[in-house]
Copies of this chain bind each other. A is one copy, B any other.
């Protein structure tokens, strides 16, 4: 099977022009066919503030109300996605920006409003790989915004790590797939050191001991679930290290 790398970067990297350029240069030097999945939450939050949209929070979690959905559709699907695509074109890399609505690549279901109504949030139903495969086979790089759609004419907000994990899993039927969840740190940290290999047993231990918390837990859960769904390699690494064979925290079963 041909290889493919699914590489995810978050809003904090995109938000910093220098970090974004560092990442994109490393990204285009990856020789294998590749898919880029981006976030953009910090940029959307700032745009929401500028538009006077009050963050709507329940139990400390953000709710995607109708106004917020408009902002993230603009920011993720327009501002961030097209900026990345234009910059990749300037690096002689033929990119195509996509949301989950485009070519019906990621149909989703609006999350059940019980017990908490998160609003216009989409839980992925499936990933249609037909066009993704066609793009990859013809050297066009899919650049995916963290947006899905409900099939009834509405866009939905879907976490970028979740999209990356689902896309990598879906592509695993036809490709030897690698998933890289990239961020600003060198990997999963414990006592100031990168944990170079993490399996489920070590993950549970570090979680129970409180060494792994918050944002890292859903990332690791998604990474392990991708491994289980047939993704060959999963790592959590620095945005600058995407072209390296081995870097950051490698997940094993």
Grouping DSSP codes into helix (H, G, I), strand (E, B) and loop, the A interface class, with mixed when no group exceeds half, is: helix
- A89 in contact with B153 given A77-B82, A78-B76 (CB within 8 Å): yes
Judge whether B102 and A96 touch: CB under 8 Å. yes
Report the interface size for chain A: residues with CB under 8 A from the other chain: 40
Q: Does A232 contact B (CB under 8 A)?
A: no
Judge whether A147 and B103 touch: CB under 8 Å. no
In whole angstroms, how far apart are the Cα atoms of A73 and B86 in the complex?
11
Nearest CB of B to A160, in Å: 15
List the B side residues contacting A94 at CB < 8 Å. 103-104
Question: A interface vs B, CB < 8 Å?
Answer: 47, 50-52, 70, 73-79, 81-83, 85-87, 89-90, 94-99, 101-104, 131, 140, 147, 149-155
Given contacts A50-B51, A73-B78, A85-B99, 20 further A-B contacts (CB under 8 A): A47-B74, A73-B79, A74-B74, A75-B78, A76-B78, A77-B77, A78-B79, A82-B147, A82-B155, A85-B101, A85-B149, A86-B150, A86-B153, A89-B104, A89-B151, A90-B153, A95-B101, A96-B98, A96-B103, A97-B99
- Of all A-B residue pairs in the complex, the 7 with the closest CB atoms, nearest first, are A78-B78, A77-B78, A90-B153, A74-B74, A74-B78, A74-B79, A87-B153
